């Protein structure tokens, strides 16, 4: 379980949040479908920080940009998106 520090509500249980996706998985809608899918499935999965999009679904409802380490799950920053 993660304790996510929502900038609006303070530290809350992960169960209140909905994970949406990583920022690098967001593709442009005007890209050709094969280009968009290729970019999505050929992303590097390196150690280090990942930038993710979450929503505080059972709290303030805000969209958040969360920086989290891929191996340790340590959260380094949370900011409104």
Interface pick for Zn ion out of 50, 60, 65, 75 (rule CB under 5 A) = 60
List all residues 6 or more positions away from 44 whose beta carbon is below 8 Å from its beta carbon: none
CA distance 13 to 46: 27
Judged by CB under 5 A, does residue 56 bind Zn ion?
A: yes
For the segment 14-53, give every residue that binds Zn ion (CB under 5 A). none
Q: Nearest CA to 2 among 58, 80, 53, 68?
A: 68
Residue with Cβ nearer Zn ion (9 or 18): 9
Residue with Cβ nearer Zn ion (39 or 57): 57
Task: Name the residue with tokens 């209140």.
Answer: 16
Residue with Cβ nearer Zn ion (22 or 55): 55
With contacts defined by CB under 5 A, name the span among 4-12, 17-25, 37-45, 73-81 that binds Zn ion. 4-12
Task: Look up residue 61 and give its two tokens.
Answer: 């409802």
């Amino acid at each position: 379980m993660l304790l996510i520090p929502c900038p609006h509500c303070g530290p809350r249980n992960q169960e209140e949040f909905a994970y949406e996706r990583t920022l690098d998985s967001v593709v442009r809608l005007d890209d050709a479908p094969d280009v968009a899918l290729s970019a999505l499935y050929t992303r590097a999965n390196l150690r280090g920080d990942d930038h993710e999009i979450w929503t505080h679904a059972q709290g303030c409802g805000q969209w958040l940009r969360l920086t989290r380490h891929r191996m340790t799950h340590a959260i380094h920053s949370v900011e409104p998106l």
